[in-house]
Amino acid sequence: MREAFHDELESVYSDLSAICGQVKVSVERATQALLTGDATLAEQVITADADIDHRRERVEDQAFALLSLQAPVAGDLRMVVAALRMVSELERMGDLSVHIAKIARLRVPEVAVPVDQRSTVVRMAQIAEGMVDKVVRIIADRDTEGPEDLRLQEEEMDKLRRSLFTAMLGDDWPHGVEAAVDLALLGRYYERIADHALSVANRIVFVVTGQAAAVS
């Protein structure tokens, strides 16, 4: 009975890693759509979100079944509850990718990101994509060291977002209100993807050690 329980629990975590991989693809495609004004690619991101939602529901069903039928305790209970929280955060990361894609689609045939802010947005996207990619491996390997690297990347993300706001609020901002609103939202979306990625990684530390990850 316990062997079957642990097999099902491993299946839940395998699904979490797979969902995270889907989120990574969504972030990459949403960013490409944003930077190129590709409406078709933006639509692909928006459409693909339904599959992420479906897989989240599957993980939730599995986790609730384990809770109700197996009555896990101690470390096993910790893993099930953490899985429920992580899948919610992964779904939210997918939703944020959709928000990015919708900004891209809204501005077609133009590109939403002004040329002089492109490098900042590109770097934010690179950090978000890299963090999500690392979380795929953190989940799969139960890596308790990975979150420290993610904390450093999140700090860089925060600095980049502040630099966007500094530019937008400057007296010499040349791009108007519409572009400022787009950038403010984009900065928030990429920052929140990073926040959720770090949170998921920290939950893996809790799953493995039973202790909350250290916060720098």
Set out the domains of the chain in order of their start, with CATH numbers. 2-209 (1.20.58.220)
Model confidence at 215: pLDDT above 60: no
Question: What number is the average pLDDT over the span 140-167?
Answer: 93
Cα–Cα distance list, 66 to 3, 20, 90, 193 (Å): 13, 22, 20, 29
Model confidence at 178: pLDDT above 60: yes
Q: Name every residue whose Cβ is closer than 8 Å to that of residue 163 and which is 6 or more positions away in sequence.
A: 120
Are the beta carbons of 24 and 133 closer than 8 angstroms?
Answer: yes
Grade residue 1 by pLDDT with cuts at 50, 70 and 90. low
Nearest-angstrom CA–CA distance, 59 and 53: 10
- Rounded to the nearest 10°, the torsion over CA 176, 180, 182, 184 is -170
Q: Give the amino acid at 61.
A: D
pLDDT for the residue numbered 214: 59
Count how many residues are written for the chain: 216
Identify which has the larger pLDDT, 161 or 70: 161
Are the beta carbons of 139 and 197 closer than 8 angstroms?
Answer: no
Question: What number is the average pLDDT over the span 70-98?
Answer: 91
Q: What percent of the chain has pLDDT over 70?
A: 97
Identify which has the larger pLDDT, 104 or 69: 104
Are the beta carbons of 8 and 62 closer than 8 angstroms?
Answer: yes
Q: Give the number of other Cβ atoms within 10 Å of residue 203's Cβ.
A: 24
Mean of pLDDT over the chain = 93
Question: What number is the average pLDDT over the span 37-51?
Answer: 97
Q: Give the amino acid at 54.
A: H
Question: What number is the average pLDDT over the span 111-135?
Answer: 96
Q: What helix, strand, coil percent values describe the chain, rounded to 5?
A: 85, 0, 15
